[in-house]
Homo-oligomer: A and B are copies of this chain.
Amino acid sequence: MKAVQVVAFGRAAEVVKLNEVPDVGSPGPDEVVVAVEAAPINNSDFMIIAGRYGYLPPLPATLGIEGVGRVVARGAQVKHLKEGDRTLVPTMHPTWTERVKFKASWQRPLPDNADVRQLSMVGVNPATAYLLLTDFVKVPRDGWVIQNGANSATARAVIAIAKSLGIKTVNVVRREEVVAEVKALGADVVLLDGPDLAKRVAKETGKAPIRLALDVVGGASTLNLMTCLAPHGVVVIYSGMSGQPFTGSPLSVIFNEVSVRGFWLGHWYKTATDDAMATMYGHLVPMVASGAISAPVVGSYGLEGFSEAIAKASAFKGKVIFTPN
């Protein structure tokens, strides 16, 4: 079977190849074999290709870290999936290939009438958004969270998931042009970033205490978020899109006991229980199926179209999906 692989770390045009790889073979007693229907290109794929990610696989390595497909074979002990069922592939499992094999545990059949391309993206951006909102600070209903980079894929999911949890969002963007778009997603407040952010946030929220800030940008934007936080607030950094070191206020951390933490989905999946997985996907899958969580898709490609697919995705205008079967 075929797989899109990285054969050395470097420039995608030179190091990504479509290779013939051994078939996955028959499932073990607790395993399923799945024919991949859809698997997106994520930022982390680009970082792995470039050799600049939190973990780097031994080479050559099949790319892709999430996806969805149909069960084509199952082991005798597998109870919750049968042949023909659509299922999620475990996140961090390589998916830019025709068939994958994995141990089925928390997986359940997915709705057949949902957009399979949207479903294929539930395990990274929406999962990150869900965990950012639920794993660090217990935000009460009608409480507030603040985030920057508010038109990114994960931030869009934050807006939708926050709404589903009864949490209000302050959304910080860097360009005036995207304000209307982010408002249309259901954002409660959308503001341009800047050093006077705290003052404008206080005005928009009626000085409501905010204890959770989600930072995808870094640089001065982290400091701006931090100054909006109430005592004991937490800034959670989950990417650094600006490429700059993040900055922070000594006064906030010393006198307001604000802290800075990081979040990487890779760490979470390594230790997550089946129950935690089931709870999370139980919340997210219906939201994706209903369209409440949605990411703009700009193209779908078979594996043989990998070169064009990667070039398209690297323009960051929207998501590109592989559809191997």
Among B250, B255, B261, contact of A246 (Cβ-Cβ < 8 Å) = B250
For the complex, what is the distance from the CA of A218 to the CA of B251, rounded to whole Å? 11
In the complex, whether A187 has a CB less than 8 A from a CB of chain B is no
Among B245, B251, B263, contact of A254 (Cβ-Cβ < 8 Å) = B263
Q: How large is the interface on A (under 10, 10 to 19, 20 to 34, 35 or more residues)?
A: 20 to 34
Contact B246 A248 (CB under 8 A): yes
| Residues of chain B with a CB closer than 8 A to A220's CB | 245
* Cβ distance A194 to chain B, nearest Cβ, rounded Å: 15
For the complex, what is the distance from the CA of A253 to the CA of B247, rounded to whole Å? 13
| Residues of chain B with a CB closer than 8 A to A262's CB | 250, 252-259
| Residues of chain B with a CB closer than 8 A to A250's CB | 218, 237, 239-240, 245-246, 262
For the complex, what is the distance from the CA of A250 to the CA of B218, rounded to whole Å? 7
Contact B249 A247 (CB under 8 A): no
20 additional A-B pairs beyond A254-B264, A257-B264, beta carbons within 8 Å, are A54-B255, A237-B253, A237-B254, A239-B250, A239-B254, A240-B250, A240-B251, A245-B247, A245-B249, A246-B247, A246-B248, A246-B249, A246-B250, A253-B260, A253-B261, A253-B262, A254-B262, A257-B262, A259-B259, A259-B262
Q: Can you list 24 residue pairs at the A/B interface with Cβ under 8 Å?
A: A54-B251, A220-B245, A223-B245, A237-B250, A238-B254, A239-B250, A240-B251, A245-B247, A245-B249, A246-B250, A247-B247, A247-B248, A248-B248, A250-B262, A252-B262, A253-B262, A254-B263, A255-B262, A255-B266, A257-B262, A258-B262, A259-B261, A260-B260, A260-B261
The copy count of this chain in the complex is: 2
* Cβ distance A255 to chain B, nearest Cβ, rounded Å: 4
Main secondary structure of the interface of A (DSSP, over half): mixed
Closest chain B residue, CB of each to CB of A223: B245
In the complex, whether A267 has a CB less than 8 A from a CB of chain B is yes
Chain A: residues with CB nearer than 8 A to chain B? 54, 218, 220, 223, 237-240, 245-264, 266-267
| Residues of chain B with a CB closer than 8 A to A246's CB | 247-250, 253
